[in-house]
Chains A and B, each alone.
Chain A
Amino acid sequence: MIDTLIEMFHYTFLVRAVVVGLLVSLCAALLGVSLVLKRYSMIGDGLSHVGFGTLAIATAMNVAPLTVSIPVVILTAFLLLRISENSKIKGDAAIALISTSSLAIGVVVISLTTGMNTDVCNYMFGSILAMSKNDVSFSIVLGIVVLVLFVLFYNKIFAVTFDENFAKATGTKTGLYNMLIAILTAVTIVLGMRMMGALLISSLIIFPALTSMRVCKKFKTVTICSACVSVVCFFIGVVVSYLYATPTGASVVIMNMIVFLLFWAAKLLPRMHTKESHTNENHSKERKIS
């Protein structure tokens, strides 16, 4: 096992990918708790599709992908949040519109420039080779910024997530903090998208939060637990993908899925156990009586 790990980390591209991936999965898990509870899960999905479109355009224009994607995706996040606040236009429909449009634009741009080839597959499902040296340092800086901002605004994010009306009524600038959550999410998605793939990145946001909500009962423990789950799942996923030559993004998602099912079972088991022991007790009582 340890030999495999040592062998793995001889490849610098793998070290890079793992460092960025761990950071991204940490950020995604932290933000995911708030997004899932606020019923914003679909926003993450929509943003990743927009990211796909911008990625295709950036490659066609021969500019650094992150510098194009991040501003555009942040702008979209801002737009989507505005739409979901406005009850007249249904937020989920708007997200579907925006995400399919940008997917279509991305595919057309790719087919016009490089032709439909492995690029599309890499963008959709991710590639561990996607990270260049410059990308890595940029990603690490941004990832750390997201983490620090999350910790500093943790209490505000809790209040805005739990009860926006109360927070607003008592003088907290809820719009500002919703914006912050959206921006941090946008940055996280763009950073992780090329490795995890546009179609799979939103699972990093949704799975860890839902997994830890199976067993944890406090906001703080849910947050910490989903951070741990996410990081562990990512690491195991990468190792598995290295050993069996499976796509990295999909392997990580499958790990997340397995852990989700385990936590779900762990929640159900104690109940069944108590039921069984009750029936056992009843049986023994009956025996004594007879």
Chain B
Amino acid sequence: MALITCQDTSFAYDGNVAISGLNFEVHRGDYLCIVGENGSGKSTLIKGLLRLIAPSAGTILIGGGLGGDGEGVDGLGADEIGYLPQQTATQKDFPASVYEVVLSGRLSKRGILPFYSKMDKAIAEENIRRLGIEKLRHRCYRELSGGQQQRVLLARALCATKKILLLDEPVAGLDPIVTQELYQEIEKINREEGLTIIMVSHDIGSAVRYASHMLHLQNKQVFFGTTEKYIASEAGTRFMGGGRHD
């Protein structure tokens, strides 16, 4: 069974249909890249996948039974999604230590309980180690470089999930070296931990290099399939700037 299934799904934003005709499935362990021009509905789709907005038409099945791993039919709860959002203006001058930020990823697991448990702290430590930011632990978040901040937010997202990670343009504004490091980190998480990755990206070159599946949007679904097929497809060649059509 698929982790996420969209059937003729549409999402509207402020009354306008931002994106329609979505038909795709995401399976466990997939690495899906969502590409498309500005305003093609990528961010709206992410909001829909996070269940921050409801579909205006069609259905979206999230979870739907994970098949044989004993996780139950509900599968994926909102508290099992990891999310790396685009940075907000508030965070630019926010006084918080790296440790505080990473630990806050465990919040949804707490439910009504007020304080973090030893296990929460251990998981936060583990993710700090995994992303190699031990030395930054007591540093102030606002004083870090862009790449370091993204690592911190990635560690926080990993604290919230063991199943699926949604990333909204994680490399925006980063320099090429840091960008490649971050991509490699994400690929490692996908390969070694078997985490499902869904990433919105403008960086088409890296997208086809790392992703197993591609979803191309233009206010509707232009392409969905494996990356090999995408490279060969018309939409793919045009978007990558490869082919010319007269």
Contacts and interface: CB of A to CB of B under 8 A. Distances in A.
Contact of A172 (B94, B107, B140, B153): B107
Interface string B60-84: 0000000000000000011101110
B50 A169 contact: yes
Given A37-B90, A170-B107, A218 B101 contact: no
A158 to B, nearest CB: 6
B95 interface: yes
B96 A155 contact: no
Contacts of A168: 50, 52
B95 A217 contact: yes
B105 interface: yes
Contacts of B145: none
A219 B96 contact: yes
Q: Is the interface of B mostly helix, strand, loop or mixed?
A: mixed
B160 interface: yes
Contact of A153 (B81, B105, B114, B140): B114
Contacts of A213: 95
Identify which of A151, A159, A163 gathers the most chain B CB atoms within 10 Å of its CB: A163
A171 B96 contact: no
Interface in A204-237: 213, 216-220, 222
Nearest to A217: B140
Contacts of B88: 163, 165
A245 to B, nearest CB: 38
Interface residues of A, number: 29
Interface string A153-187: 11110110111011111111000000000000000
A39 interface: yes
A220 B95 CA distance: 9
Contacts of A152: 114
Contacts of B94: 37, 162, 219
A90 interface: no
A267 interface: no
B104 interface: yes
A217 B107 contact: no
A3 B166 CA distance: 64
Contacts of A171: 77-79, 81, 108
A169 B53 CA distance: 10
A38 interface: yes
A11 to B, nearest CB: 39
B91 interface: yes
Contacts of A220: 100
B188 interface: no
Nearest to A220: B100
Contact of B85 (A165, A172, A219): A165
Interface of B: 50-52, 77-79, 81-83, 85, 88, 90-91, 94-97, 100-101, 104-105, 107-108, 110, 114-116, 138-140, 143, 153, 156-157, 160-161, 166
What are the 3 closest A-B residue pairs judged by CB atoms, nearest first? Answer: A171-B78, A217-B140, A171-B79
Interface of A: 37-39, 151-156, 158-159, 161-163, 165-172, 213, 216-220, 222
